[in-house]
Amino acid sequence: MAAAAAAAGGTPWPVQLKVDTGMHRVGCDPADAVDLARAVLDAGLELQGTFTHLAVADEPDRPETDEQLELFAAVLAELAAAGIDPGLRHAANSAAALAHPAARLDLVRVGIATYGVPPSADLELPVPLEPAMNVRAEVSRVRSVAAGEG
């Protein structure tokens, strides 16, 4: 479908390539990144960005964040050596955006910090965060239910 849209002169569909540098949740193996990026381009898609997710950026004494950033930099270098533009490069979640300047590449993906909540009590923040909202509700009913019922 994407190739048909591109062949018809439509705008190529944007794709973000996720590289698993250590989170082990989703993303391609770093060794497969160049081939996968090439497949994206060969399919007539636009490689809009290449990213990873830092697993423990909110734990300041763990070495994995630096290790993940080094591996991601190596993948980006391999893409460049293959003549592939990675698009927007991004790795920083809230914790990394606040505490790991090297992770601030072309953009950052602040999640919980958007709401003014620190990503970790263990993280020394360069700026104060304040909760951006409160959620309140009235209790509408309280009921006792026997164990095993309902």
pLDDT at 7 over 70: no
pLDDT tens, position by position, 109-132: 999 999 999 999 888 889 899 999
Range of the domain at 72: 2-115
pLDDT at 76 over 90: yes
Does any domain span residue 147? no
Mean per-residue pLDDT of the chain: 93
pLDDT at 3: 62
Domain count, the chain: 1
Q: Are 91 and 107 in contact (CB under 8 A)?
A: no
pLDDT at 2: 62
- What is d(CA 8, CA 50) in angstroms, rounded to the nearest whole number? 26
Does any domain span residue 72? yes
Nearest to 90 by CA among 129, 116, 75: 75
Which CATH number goes with the domain that contains 37? 3.20.20.10
Three-state SS sequence of 63-114: CHHHHHHHHHHHHHHHHHHCCCCCCEEEEECHHHHHHCHHHCCCEECCCHHH
pTM passes above 0.75: yes
Does any domain span residue 124? no
Mean pLDDT of 50-68: 96
Does any domain span residue 140? no
pLDDT at 92: 97
pLDDT at 18 over 80: yes
pLDDT at 9: 72
Strands 14-18 vs 107-108: parallel, antiparallel or unpaired: unpaired
pLDDT at 54 over 80: yes
Does any domain span residue 138? no
Does any domain span residue 16? yes
pLDDT at 120: 92
Sheet holding 46-51, edge to edge: 14-18, 46-51, 88-92, 107-108
